[in-house]
Amino acid sequence: MKHKWTAAWFIFVAVAFCIFAIVQYFYWKKAGIYTWCESSVLEKELGLSSEQKKQIVSLDKTFELDTGKTCRELHNKRKALNAALLKPQTDEKEIDSIILEISNLQGTLEKRVVLHLLKIKQVLTTVQQKKFFSMIEEEMCKCEEHHRERK
């Protein structure tokens, strides 16, 4: 049973880390911290026209409104999981249920992120698309590179 929880916890942490990399942009943006996803950075890196920048800013605003509720729900479920783990008597069914809810929310968020990226793709030229998705791949694969460095 211990191995089951160790594996479940590892999967939860790995998925949470990857989702964090996707949604951190929104938290950083609200805090006014620089991030590579901001339209000004994309404008510079991709050579966006002013019309492309306007379209992407509009898409980003819609995306933030669309995903805000899901992000809050995910945050609340993670807090609930932590509270369940801290109980003196661990209820495995409760923990399984919370993990399932977290997985569903993360899946929903992941799908919304992908759909958002597809909308941005439509605004970009073929050359910009290649650069944009290369930037995303580089950012998303950092955890894998970090893991290889530690070996």
- List CB contacts of 87: < 8 A, sequence separation 6 or more: none
State the average pLDDT for the chain.
78
pTM for the full predicted model: 0.65
Confidence of residue 80 (pLDDT cuts 50, 70, 90): very high
Radius of gyration of the chain (CA): 18
For domain 2-27+38-150, the CATH architecture is Up-down Bundle (1.20)
Amino acid at 15: V
The pLDDT value recorded for residue 34 is 41
Which ranges constitute the DSSP H helices of 32-49?
A: 39-46
In the chain, where the domains are located: 2-27+38-150
Q: Write out pLDDT tens, residues 11-50.
A: 655 555 555 555 555 555 554 444 445 556 778 888 899 8
Contact predicate 100/111, CB 8 Å: no
